[in-house]
Amino acid sequence: MKKLFGVIGLGRFGGSICKELSKEGKEVLALDADEDKVNEYKEIATHAVIADSTDELALKELGFRNIDHVIVAIGDNVHASILTTLILKEFGVKRITVKAQNDYHEKVLQKIGADEIVHPERDMGKRIAHSIISSNVLDYLELSDEYSVVEIKAGEKMQNKTLMELDIRAKFGCNVVAIKHGKDINVSPMANEQIHFDDILIIIGADKDISRFEKELV
């Protein structure tokens, strides 16, 4: 049986999830209360329907009970987002991902059992801030409050040095998990791996250690 996805709320975030899932050939039921939004997705999603997601009966009739993974992407209306999540949870939907507006919203979503809570604007803001601070930081992914994975462009200080010479793990407590040389990517670099100017390093570690590493070597 093909996995079924549901996207509730077709703003920029929900809309982009819907487009991407459809592009990947997934079955998507898209829903929005706004007729214009729904019309925009008629040709993109498998089905696009106009409904108020806080209307339990409407969701039931649309078959949301049988959807494997629902993404609740209602932005500003926190009340509607919570109520929708609660209804889906009561239906027994296996996996529910919800876009949170703020920390209080997130707490309520956790309590009612949302499986995944995302903060796209906040997370993207953090990533962009890191690349603004240092133009060598290409990407940044938060693993938890304290740990991250960063993608860093090797600076002059690393040029033609091996990981052992730079002694990254011992000095900074971070691990280089991959090194990209142009199109090639080495996903388990050895201690004798040499770094060249313009290589890209993927580093995992505690934020404070990564920050020290950036200050001294990037």
| Binding positions for ligand ATP, rule: CB under 6 A | 8-14, 31-34, 37, 52-54, 74-77, 80, 163-164, 167-170, 175-176, 189, 191
Among 75, 120, 155, 173, binds Ca ion (CB under 5 A): 75
For the record, the structure tokens of 16 come out as 């982009």
Q: Which does 180 bind (CB under 5 to 8 A by kind): Ca ion, ligand ATP, none?
A: none
> Shortest gap between Cβ of 100 and ligand ATP (angstroms)?
12
Quote the Cα angle for 127-132-138, to 5°. 60
Using the Cα atoms of residue 153, residue 159, residue 164 and residue 165 in order, give the sign of their dihedral: negative
CB of 190 to Ca ion, least distance (A): 46
In 27-41, which positions are buried (b, 16+ CB within 10 angstroms) versus exposed (e)?
bbbbbbbeeebbebb
In whole angstroms, how close is the CB of 203 to ligand ATP at the nearest point? 8
Residue that has been written with the tokens 């670099």 in this structure: 189
Residue 2 or residue 215: which is nearer to ligand ATP going by CB? 215
Contact partner, 95, from ligand ATP, Ca ion, none, Cβ < 5-8 Å per class: none
Instruction: Pick left, alpha or beta for residue 13 (phi over 0 → left; psi -120 to 50 → alpha; otherwise beta).
Output: alpha
Nearer to ligand ATP, 8 or 93 (CB): 8
Contact 89, 108 (CB under 8 A): no
Q: What torsion, rounded to 10 degrees, do the Cα atoms 159, 161, 167, 169 define?
A: 60
Q: How far is the CB of 38 from Ca ion (least distance, A)?
A: 18
Pick what 217 binds: Ca ion, ligand ATP, none; C-beta below 5 to 8 Å, kind-dependent: none
Q: How many CA atoms lie within 13 A of 114 on its CB side?
A: 23
Shortest approach of Ca ion to residue 106 CB, angstroms?
16
Nearer CB in complex with Ca ion: 120/155: 120
Contact between 155 and Ca ion per CB under 5 A = no
| Residue 88 near which of ligand ATP, Ca ion, none (CB within 5-8 Å, type-dependent) | none
